[in-house]
């Protein structure tokens, strides 16, 4: 059994820690932010300081893949989430009878967890706080890596971490789970490692979100999907825990005319102008302003470059490995998928040969996890280009049949039970689109039912009407 240091106690970092200690490893989680989560959901929202996670109070939703992984691997976390007031929501079972058709055996897989990010993280932390062989040290900033004898090729071998206080903690494996702004390249440079291969770009979207609470504990009915692309804006309406929910408008970062959406009065007017979304304002706002987030990066990091690890004894998992546009809510699902892979790679080949371990984990991640990241990126690039075209008053017609069929699947999902389930499988990170479309007769059905998606009316004001609404703000 190994001694493993995880740097970062975020929502995925804690999940990974639980998986590893359940396998018998001694796990230390080192977290820079000092505050431990309060016990009650309303205190968690108001009082838990988490400067280390910029998106801590921005809308989150935990997709079916995350729920499935918890059911299979960490059922006690699922129990804690229910006890904390999160809601299990099933987009197929909750669809109108006429659309979903008779219930199917597979329908249970679509269960998602709706809860505010901070409430979900606190529930994971409560289980982690009681786990054997798992120590969580909060208020403990890691400042760099320490090295031991090279495991091969003159490549530095990481043998632990150095804290900001100068204290050193040794480990058989250091797992960087410091999130989107991971300082790993700097730490690697300081031990003489070659730089990792980073792909980095602004994801290109801006978020303007607010949370609400109902007086009676209910949640507004969904009149459309959780995520709706409505011309040059997208609307996210996410049920959360304990009678709360969030409403978010997502725009292109290039869309300067809509930057006024950070003003609560303008934001509210814009939301009210959307017929399928306006009723989500019927509650008490629980944040005092519109929470805006821009400059969100798409970033992917490879620690194996040119066939050789840049260092052994260290891996990056969760957002520290890769992060992308969060509109589609995939971060926790993809992160936990990779955390399970980490646990399995350690169980499969062990850590005795650090070089082999680094290469195996890299290859397994590239094969099993990375495709989800690439799919997300490809869809984002199209959506941004579509917004750009619509702002210029043009129709978006890329020469990419993949995008056409993707739009057709979205339209067909509102017309047919098989297409609904296929669409939800992709959205929930359960199946990739190509696999759904490869099902018997699916491509033909999607094309027949959704091929005319361009003719469907968009349930939202035109660009001109939207601009006039926000200009009057």
Cβ closest to ligand FAD, residue 62 vs residue 357: 62
Kindly tell me which residue out of 45, 48, 61, 280 binds ligand FAD, with binding defined by CB under 6 A.
61
Instruction: Output the six-digit token pair for 45.
Output: 């929202």
Find the shortest distance in angstroms from Cβ 29 to ligand FAD.
9
Extended strands (E) in 193-243: 197-202, 205-213, 227-230, 233-239
User: Taking CB under 6 A as the rule, does residue 10 contact ligand FAD?
Assistant: yes
User: Taking CB under 6 A as the rule, does residue 60 contact ligand FAD?
Assistant: yes
User: Taking CB under 6 A as the rule, does residue 276 contact ligand FAD?
Assistant: no
Kindly tell me which residue out of 81, 151, 235, 296 binds ligand FAD, with binding defined by CB under 6 A.
296
Burial category of 105 from C-beta neighbours within 10 Å (exposed 0-12, middle 13-18, buried 19 and up)? exposed
Residue nearest to ligand FAD (CB): 52
Cβ closest to ligand FAD, residue 373 vs residue 403: 373
Cβ closest to ligand FAD, residue 296 vs residue 420: 296
User: Taking CB under 6 A as the rule, does residue 62 contact ligand FAD?
Assistant: yes
Find the shortest distance in angstroms from Cβ 438 to ligand FAD.
26
User: Taking CB under 6 A as the rule, does residue 266 contact ligand FAD?
Assistant: no
Footprint on residues 116-175 left by ligand FAD (CB under 6 A): 141-142
Find the shortest distance in angstroms from Cβ 468 to ligand FAD.
28
DSSP line for 253-306 = TT-GGGGGGGSHHHHHHHHHT-TTTGGGG-SEESSSS-EEE--PEEEEEESEET
Conformation bin of residue 217: beta by default, left when phi > 0, alpha when psi is -120 to 50: left
User: Taking CB under 6 A as the rule, does residue 253 contact ligand FAD?
Assistant: no
Q: What is the rounded end-to-end Cα distance, in angstroms, of the chain?
A: 61
Region from 26-34, 125-133, 263-271, 446-454 binding ligand FAD, contact rule CB under 6 A:
26-34
User: Taking CB under 6 A as the rule, does residue 30 contact ligand FAD?
Assistant: yes
Kindly tell me which residue out of 232, 246, 333, 345 binds ligand FAD, with binding defined by CB under 6 A.
333
Instruction: Output the six-digit token pair for 164.
Output: 């900001």
Q: Give ∠ CA 312-316-318 in degrees, rounded to 5.
A: 160
DSSP one-letter code for 124: H
Q: What share of the chain is helix, strand, coil (3-state, %, to 5)?
A: 40, 20, 35
Identify the CA nearest to 178 among candidates 52, 294, 57.
Answer: 52
Interacting residues with ligand FAD (CB under 6 A): 7-13, 30-33, 52-53, 55, 58, 60-62, 141-142, 177-180, 207, 293, 296, 318-320, 326, 329-333, 335
């Amino acid at each position: 059994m190994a001694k493993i240091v995880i740097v970062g106690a975020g929502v995925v970092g804690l999940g990974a820690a639980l998986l590893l200690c359940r396998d018998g490893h001694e796990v230390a989680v080192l977290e820079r932010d000092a505050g431990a989560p309060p016990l009650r959901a309303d205190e968690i929202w108001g009082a838990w300081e988490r400067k280390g996670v910029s998106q801590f109070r921005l809308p989150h939703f935990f997709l079916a893949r995350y729920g499935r992984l918890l059911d299979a691997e960490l059922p006690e976390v699922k129990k804690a989430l229910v006890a904390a007031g999160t809601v299990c929501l099933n987009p197929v079972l909750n669809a109108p009878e006429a659309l979903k058709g008779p219930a199917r055996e597979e329908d249970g897989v679509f269960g998602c967890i709706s809860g505010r990010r901070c409430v979900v993280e606190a529930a994971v932390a409560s289980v982690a706080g009681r786990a054997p062989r798992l120590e969580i040290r909060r208020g403990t900033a890691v400042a760099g890596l320490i090295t031991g004898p090279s495991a091969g090729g003159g490549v530095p071998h990481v043998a632990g971490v150095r804290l900001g206080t100068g204290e050193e903690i040794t480990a058989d494996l250091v797992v960087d789970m410091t999130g989107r702004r991971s300082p790993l390249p700097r730490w690697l440079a300081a031990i003489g490692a070659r730089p990792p291969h980073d792909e980095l770009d602004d994801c290109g979207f801006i978020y303007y979100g607010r949370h609400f609470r109902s007086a009676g504990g209910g949640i507004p009915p969904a009149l459309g999907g959780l995520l709706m692309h409505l011309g040059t804006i997208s609307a996210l309406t996410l049920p959360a825990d304990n009678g709360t929910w969030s409403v978010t408008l997502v725009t292109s970062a290039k869309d300067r005319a809509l930057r006024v959406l950070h003003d609560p009065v303008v934001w509210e007017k814009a939301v009210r102008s959307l017929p399928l979304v306006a009723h989500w304002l019927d509650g008490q706002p629980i944040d005092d302003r519109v929470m805006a987030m821009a400059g969100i990066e798409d970033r992917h990091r490879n620690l194996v470059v040119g066939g050789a690890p840049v260092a052994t004894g260290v891996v990056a998992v969760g957002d520290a490995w890769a992060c992308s546009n969060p509109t589609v809510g995939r971060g926790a699902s993809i992160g936990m998928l990779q955390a399970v892979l980490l646990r399995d790679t350690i169980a499969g080949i062990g850590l005795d040969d650090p070089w082999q371990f680094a290469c195996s984990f890299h290859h397994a991640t590239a094969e099993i996890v990375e495709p989800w990241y690439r799919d997300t990126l490809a869809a984002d690039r199209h959506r941004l280009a579509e917004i750009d075209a619509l702002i210029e008053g043009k129709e978006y017609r890329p020469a990419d049949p993949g995008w056409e069929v993707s739009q057709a699947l979205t339209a067909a999902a509102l017309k047919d039970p098989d297409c609904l389930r296929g669409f939800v499988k992709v959205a929930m990170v359960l199946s990739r689109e190509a696999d759904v479309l490869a099902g018997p007769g699916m491509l033909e059905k999607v094309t027949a039912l959704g091929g005319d998606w361009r003719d469907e009316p968009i349930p939202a004001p035109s660009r001109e009407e939207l601009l006039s609404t926000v200009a009057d703000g």
